[in-house]
A = this chain, B = another copy of it.
Amino acid sequence: MIQSPAVTVADKTFIQLRNDIVEGEIAAGSKLSEQELSTKFQVSRAVIREAINRLETCHLVERKANVGARVVSLTTESLIELYVIRESLEGMAARLAAVNMTSEDIDGLQQLLSRHSEQVKGGESYYQEAGDVDFHYRIILGSKNKQLINLLVDGLYHLVRMYRVQLGMVGPRVTTAFDEHQHIAHAITNNDPELAELLMRRHIMYSKNNIEAQLNLYK
């Protein structure tokens, strides 16, 4: 898949729906009526079905035969499960990146961190949302493992974003996370795959623990 510039109507509908779901405009757990959506978007049901199929591919909706499609519901368990998978896959991505990133890739990564550094000093919390994603995204691409990239970017990325947006993942982890990013980048620069993987796994595990703690406040 990988972001191709939406040539067909089904493409546009899919992207629109995906945004609506990730942003929460279509509520988590709600039903996706084909008829309703086809009148809303002024397209045929075939287009809607195609779009829903793709949403299922990136784990944003679940379909049951003869019953229909529902947006996935956001549960604490699923979020934790997701972070465990991220820990595993992005840890591996960091390991691979330490071996496979070119010096240009590494330069770009360092420049990204420099910009983030100024933002953190300046007290901007803009960092958390886009910055964190950017960093992880570069590591994933740096793995140069096409299947891994596809799995993460098209398969889990949007689901992670959906949780972040809708549960409002903020917390006081901004500067801490930035330090962790620097350590990971350092390990990659030194071509130290074991350390890069270890640090990335810890980094994601800390995020997971942080989220678990936040969620337990509501209990």
Contacts and interface: CB of A to CB of B under 8 A. Distances in A.
A66 B147 contact: no
Nearest to A72: B147
Interface in A103-139: none
In the complex, the count of this chain's copies comes to: 2
Interface stretch (A26-34, A79-87, A163-171, A182-190): A79-87
A8 interface: yes
Contact of A65 (B4, B92, B145, B148): B4
A53 B65 CA distance: 15
Contact of A66 (B8, B54, B89): B8
Nearest to A78: B147
Interface string A49-82: 1100110110100000110000000000010011
A151 B150 CA distance: 13
A97 to B, nearest CB: 12
Contacts of A4: 65
A78 B149 CA distance: 12
Contact of A92 (B53, B82, B84): B84
Contacts of A147: 59, 78, 81-82, 85
A46 to B, nearest CB: 7
A49 B70 CA distance: 21
A81 B145 CA distance: 6
Contacts of A50: 49, 53
Contacts of A66: 7-8
Interface string A18-42: 0000000000000000000000000
